[in-house]
Structure 1
Amino acid sequence: MVSYSQLSVEIDPNGIATVMLNRPDRLNAAGAVMHAELSLVFRELERSPDVRVIILTGAGKAFSAGGDIEWMQEMIDDPRIFERTIREAKEIILSMLDCEKPIIGQINGHATGLGATLALFCDITFMADTAKIGDPHVAMGLVAADGGAVIWPQLVGYARAKEYLLTGDLLKAADAERIGLVNHVCSLEALPGEVSTLAVRLAAGAQKAIRWTKATVNIGLKQLADQMLDAGLAYEAVTNLSRDHQAAVTAFREGRKPVFE
C-alpha cells in the first residue's frame, strides 16, 4: 500500500477501509501533499482485494475546511502549481466515480469547498447534526469547479444548487438533509455507529451486485463529469490569477472581509 502522510488508511477484518483526512491542526484543509494523496487513494483501494467498502471521514473536529490558504497563495505566486492541481482535482473526482466499491461519507464536522465536494461525491452520506456544509469558492474569488458544479445540481436541483454555489452560503446539517444534499443526520456521538452499521451490511452483501449497481448508476454522472470538469477547471485556473482571488486570500490571512473589484 502507498505510504500516506496526511491521510490515515485502515482496513478492518470485514474489508471496511477507513480513509481519514489527517490534518486536524489545519481543520483537514488540503494542501499540496493531501491533494496529491487524495488523487491516489481511491484507485488504490479499488484495486485492493482486501477492501469491500470505504468510509471517508476527517480527524478532529472538522471533516475538511477545503483548500489550505497558504497553498492558495503558493498557486497564485507560481501558477504552474495550479496546473498540477487541476490534473489531481480531476483524478480525485473520477477516481471516486470509477471506484465500484461503496464510499460512505462520515461527515463529522464542517465540510467546505473541496471538503464539501469530497463529502458529496460519496455514495451515501451521514452528517453530524453539529456540522455545516457548503461550497464558498466564490467567497475566495474562485470558480466552484473542483466538482461542486457537477454534483450539487444532481442532488438538490439547479435552482438550489445555483443559490448555494453563487452565494457560498453554508447549510446546517438539518437543512442539508431536508433538501436532499445528504442522506442522514445524527448526533456526533452516534455518527460512527450509524456509519459502521451500514458499512458492515454492505460488506456482507453480494459484492458483484452492489458494485455493478453503483457502476450503472454512475454512468450518467461520469459522463457529466467528463463534460464539465475540464471547462470548469479551466475557468478556475483563470480566476486563480485574478485580483479578486488575491484580495480574498489576503483578507482571509488578515482576518477581514475581502473587497472585490
Structure 2
Amino acid sequence: MDYQHYTHLGVSINSRIATLTLQSGEKFNCVNWQMHHELGTIFNDLSNDDDVDVIVLTGADDAFCAGANLQWLQQQLETPRDPREARNAGRAIVLGMLDCPKPVIARVNGDAIGLGASLALLADIVIAVDTARIADPHVRIGLVAGDGGTLIWPLLVGFARAKEFLLTGNAVSAPDAARMGLINYSVTKDELDATVERFARQLVEGAPLAIQLTKAATNIPLRQAVESVLESSLAYEIQTLRSKDVQEGVAAFLERRKPVFSGK
C-alpha cells in the first residue's frame, strides 16, 4: 500500500504496526480541510493493507490535535461549501474508524480538543499523557458537537457526565478522564511510549481474526448508535454553521474576547 499521497497524515509501518501521525502543519495540529479529507480515507486504506494488524494514532511533536483551525472555519463561513460535502466528510471519518477491523490505539501525546477528542475517543484503546486535556468545546463558538462528540461521549461516560462536558465545553484532564472511564490510561510522558508499545505488541502477537471479529461484535451497538445519531448531529452542526452565533463565536475567539451570542 502506498501512502505517499497523504500530505497531512504520516504513515509508517514496522512489524505489522502502523503508526498514523496527525501532521497538519498547523499550530497544535489543528485540522484544516486537507487533513479532514485525508482522515476520511486513511482508515479504509489501512484496513485493506495486508501488512498492518494494529494502528497507533498519534500527533506530531508534542501535540495530538487541538480541533479545527478557526481561520479555516472562518473561510468556510465566508465561502460556504456544499453542506453535503461537510456531512459526507464527517461521516467518512467516524465510520472509517468504527468500521476499521483492525484495533486502533490512540497515543494521546497532547491536548485532544474538538475533532481531536473525537478521533481519540473513537479509538479502541486510549492512552494519554497525564498533562493532556480532552474537551469538545464546539458550543463555545456556537457550533453543535456533531462530528462524533454527541455520539461517543454518552456511550463512554453516561449521559449526565457527557452533557456536563458537551454543553459547557469544559475540559477534563487525562487523569480524571481515566478515572471516569472516558479513556483507558493516563500515564507520565516517560511511560507513554512503553505503555502504547506493550498494548500494540500484545495485539499484534494475538490472533488477528479473533481480535478483529471481537472488535466488530463489540462495535455493533456503536454502529447502531451511529445510524441513529450521526446524521442528525451532523445536520444540526451544519445548521449552526450557518448561524450568526457561530460567526460571533469564531470572531470572538480570533479577537480574544468573550462572545456575545444572540441565539440566531
Same fold (TM over 0.5): yes
8 Å contact kept, 1:24–1:62: no
Deviation sequence 1:161-215 (CA, Å, 0-9, x none): 0110000000011110111000001011211111011101100100000000000
Confirm or deny: 8 A CA contact 1:24 1:61 kept in the other structure. Answer: no
Q: Which residue of 1 aligns with 2:113?
A: 112
Report matched runs for 1:114-193 at 5 Å. Answer: 114-193=115-194
**Quick check: 1:106–1:127 contact (8 Å CA) kept in 2?**
yes
Query: Are residues 1:256 and 2:223 paired?
Result: no
Gaps of 5+ in 1: none
Which sits farther off after the overlay, 216-225 or 249-258? 249-258
The amino acid of 1:203's aligned partner reads V
Aligned counterpart in structure 2 of residue 5 of structure 1, from 1, 4, 7: 7
- Cα distance between partner residues in 2 of 1:24 and 1:78: 23
Q: Distance in 1 between matches of 2:79 and 2:49?
A: 36
Cα distance per residue 1:95-148 (max 9 Å; x no partner): 111111000000000000000000000000001001100100100100011011
Count of paired positions: 260
Tell me if the contact between 2:136 and 2:149 (Cα under 8 Å) persists in the aligned partners: yes
Shift of 1:18: 0.4
Is 1:194 equivalent to 2:191 in the alignment?
A: no
Letter in 1 for 2:163: K
- What SS is found at the alignment partner of 1:54? strand
Query: What's the CA shift string for 1:12-36, capped at 9, x where partnerless?
Result: 0x20000010135421111100000
SS of the residue aligned with 2:64? coil
2: distance between equivalents of 1:257 and 1:192? 39
Between 1:80-89 and 1:225-234, the stretch displaced more is 80-89
- Tell me, yes or no, if the aligned pair for 2:24 and 2:32 is still in contact at 8 Å: no
What RMSD, in angstroms, separates the aligned Cα atoms of the two structures?
1.0
TM-score (norm 1): 0.97
Distance 1:83 1:253 in 2: 27
Could you tell me how far 1:223 is from its partner in structure 2? Answer: 1.0
Please report how far the alpha carbon of residue 84 of structure 1 lies from its aligned counterpart in structure 2 after TM superposition: 1.5
The answer as to whether partners of 1:120 and 1:181 remain within 8 angstroms in 2 is: yes
Residue identity in the other structure for 1:183: N
**Over residues 206-260 of structure 1, what are the superposed CA-to-partner deviations in whole Å (9 max), with x where a residue is unaligned?**
0000000000000110011111111111111110011110011111111222111
| Residue pair 1:28, 1:65 contacting (<8 A) in 2 also | yes
Q: Distance in 2 between matches of 1:88 and 1:189?
A: 36
SS in 1 for 2:51: coil
Cα distance in 2 between the residues matched to 1:24 and 1:194: 27
- In the alignment, which residue of structure 2 is the partner of 1:18? 19
**TM superposition shift of 1:72:** 0.7
- In structure 2, the CA distance between the partners of 1:148 and 1:65, relative to structure 1 (3 Å rule), is same
* 1:78, distance to aligned residue in structure 2 (A): 2.3
Tell me the residue number matched to 2:241. Answer: 240
Alpha-carbon distance in 2 for matches of 1:49, 1:25 = 32
- Kindly provide the amino acid, as one letter, of the partner of residue 260 in structure 1: F
Contact residue 75 and residue 81 of structure 1 kept, 8 A: no
Could you tell me which residue of structure 1 aligns to residue 90 of structure 2? 89
Counterpart contact for 2:98–2:219, Cα < 8 Å: yes
Amino acid at match of 2:248: A
Map of 1:221 onto structure 2: 222
Long gaps (5+) in structure 2: none
* Partner secondary structure for residue 80 of structure 1: coil
Identity of matched residues, %: 47
- Paired AA for residue 109 in structure 1: G
Instruction: Report what 1:59 is aligned to.
Output: 60
